[in-house]
Amino acid sequence: MSQNAHSQFLGYLHSFRGLAIIQIVLIHSIVAAFLGANGFELDFTHPLVIANEVLFHDSTLYFAIISGLLYTAILKSRGYRKFYRSKFKNVFLPYVFFTLIFGVLDNEAGTGVFHESFLSYIKAIPRYLLYGKAVGPYWYMPVLFFLFLMTPILDAILDNEKFGKPIFIVLMIIPLVSTRVQMAFDYILSLQTMIYFMGAYAFGMYLGRDLSSKLDKLKSNAAVLWIITISCSIGLVYLFIADIQMIGFVDLRETLYYAQKLAMGVLFILWLRDLGESAPRWLSNVAESAFSIYFTHTFFVFMLMGAGFYAPILDLNAIAPINVILGALSMLVMSIVGSLFIVRAFRKLFGRYSRMIVGS
């Protein structure tokens, strides 16, 4: 791959990372705004809530796709030692840092409640790290570390000329019946959830090998990707309206989310690749701080809302649900701008070492 082609590849994939983190922040912002405007009750029959869930739920799958894709397309050639050293410095250490910061709050005692003692705080930190419980979205971090640990095994399977492809196909379709277990609220590590995200990670790894050729083939079948996306979205709307979720041991919503997000992920990548240098520059700036935004956005969304920061907008019930939309957009902008400010401050103070602290 020429230097120019390599730069272009990094550009559109980098932009996809920015788009992914915006969608992750947006779903949390809309939920928070709806709660703040409606007495902290979430009505899953409300059209805005349904639209939010259908469009943005499971957007974390995009991160899994990106991680797998980056490994086979770029990081594999650098060797496992550099791969794990990079993940330790740029992912694990920032995770520890923000867990130490936000872990001062006792999640078991209630929202915004500090630990009763320093000893209580120290005892809680190992559990927060293990289960991803310092802040709600941190549940994904144990899943991500599992994917990193599985990378050499998946890599060896993919390298097998005879069995690699069929095994990867199985890995990619298992999540359609392997129901994701919600890990955000309980102190659990669910193998089902890890397998669910490993399917997306495997999809990214498979796509990243001979990426340009595979994307060209997918582009020629873009109509199929649109059919999958639209069909799954319509199916999800129906499941919410009909209040259907489980059939036996299979969560139908998570099945449709998985197929929808993989298809949408490819469509986003193809769109951004076609845009090339015309892609918004601000999207790249957001992507550079994606992990920092992921680690900090809950503060700017839920904690500031709890402090009444967004009340002047959310209390405008006469214009509902526009107040929810305006509140959510305010939270989104505040999260991104605030996170970028934190990143800039740490870069000023610590230079290139800031990435080991705040992830960017």
Helix (H, G, I), strand (E, B) or coil at 208: helix
186 Cβ partners below 8 Å, 6+ apart? none
Distances (CA, A) of 223 to 230, 231, 236, 258: 10, 12, 20, 18
Q: List the domain range (segments joined by +) for residue 241.
A: 3-358
| pLDDT at position 276 | 87
pLDDT at 111: 62
- pLDDT digit string (tens) for the chain, length 360 residues: 444 444 445 689 999 999 999 999 999 999 999 999 998 899 999 999 999 999 999 999 999 999 999 999 999 999 999 999 999 999 999 999 999 999 998 877 666 688 889 999 999 999 999 999 999 899 999 999 999 999 999 999 999 999 999 999 999 999 999 888 887 778 888 999 999 999 999 999 999 999 999 999 999 999 999 999 999 999 999 999 999 999 998 999 999 999 999 999 999 999 999 998 888 988 988 999 999 999 999 999 988 888 889 999 999 999 999 999 999 999 999 999 999 999 999 999 999 899 999 998
Contacts for 292 with CB less than 8 Å, ≥ 6 apart: 94, 339, 340, 342, 343, 358, 359, 360
Does the predicted model carry a pTM greater than 0.85? yes
Helix (H) or strand (E) holding 247: strand 246-247
Q: How many domains does the chain have?
A: 1
Strand partners, 105: 114
Q: How confident is the model at residue 107, as a pLDDT?
A: 76
- Name the nearest CA neighbour of 214 among 95, 65, 333, 335: 65
pLDDT confidence of residue 8: 45
